[in-house]
């Protein structure tokens, strides 16, 4: 299984997303995150990736794990597990980096047409403030063929 972090920064009614400039998900808006390096905990990876991709620094006390998403692909492809975090406060200036172009969005107007297809399903749950576990299965064309989402108050 490939394990990733994904950090969503919220400020009042706004959410910080980044336009991916290279690699997996290029051209899509998403939170900030990536793979976990050796000898790193999931939370350490979340803090590092947020800083690398957006320039801002979050303290561990301002990060809350709010969701786990698993993704299954057609036979032969390695499944993904994504740890989703809420960042409630940070230090530093938000800046464009080699990997991401950050921008604030009103939570009522997310650019779902330019996000991963499953975003329409779990972002509203995340934004409602509950924790969740979600699973998605994709076919070879990248369409979602099955999903589950369980909310936890
Ligand atoms: C397939 O569906 C996905 N949906 C969502 N919402 N997010 C996803 C999906 N697949 C991957 N992601 C997230 C998980 C990570 O936050 C990023 C991908 O990270 P990346 O591959 O860029 O990891 P890095 O370690 O930063 O890669 P480099 O080696 O290029 O630095 O997308």
Q: Which atom of ligand 1 is nearest to the CA of 20?
A: 22
Q: How far is the CA of 83 from the centre of ligand 1 (A)?
A: 11
pLDDT in tens, 76-122: 899 999 999 999 999 999 999 999 999 999 999 999 999 999 999 99
Nearest one of 33, 32, 85, 67 to 149, comparing CA atoms: 67
ipTM over 0.85: yes
Choice from 24, 101, 110 to test ligand 1 binding pocket (greatest atom count within 8 A of CB): 24
pTM over 0.90: yes
Say if domain 2-152 classifies as CATH 3.40.50.800: no
CB of 87 closer than 8 Å to CB of 50: yes
The Cα 151–Cα 133 span in angstroms is 7
Beta bridge partners of 85: 7, 65
pLDDT at 75: 87
pLDDT at 146: 97
């Amino acid at each position: 299984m490939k394990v990733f972090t994904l950090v969503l920064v919220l400020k009042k009614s706004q959410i910080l997303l980044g336009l991916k400039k290279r690699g997996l998900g290029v051209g899509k808006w998403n939170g900030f995150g990536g793979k976990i390096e050796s000898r790193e905990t999931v939370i350490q990876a979340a803090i590092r990736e947020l800083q690398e991709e957006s320039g801002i620094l979050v303290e561990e006390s301002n990060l809350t794990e709010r969701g786990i998403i698993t993704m299954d692909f057609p036979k032969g492809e390695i499944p993904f597990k994504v740890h989703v975090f809420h960042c409630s406060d940070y230090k530093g200036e938000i800046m464009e980096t080699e990997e991401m172009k950050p921008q604030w969005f009103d939570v009522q107007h997310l650019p779902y047409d330019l996000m991963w297809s499953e975003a329409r399903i779990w972002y509203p749950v995340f934004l409602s403030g509950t924790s969740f576990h979600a699973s998605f299965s994709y076919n070879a064309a990248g369409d979602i063929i099955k999903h589950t989402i369980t909310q936890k108050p």
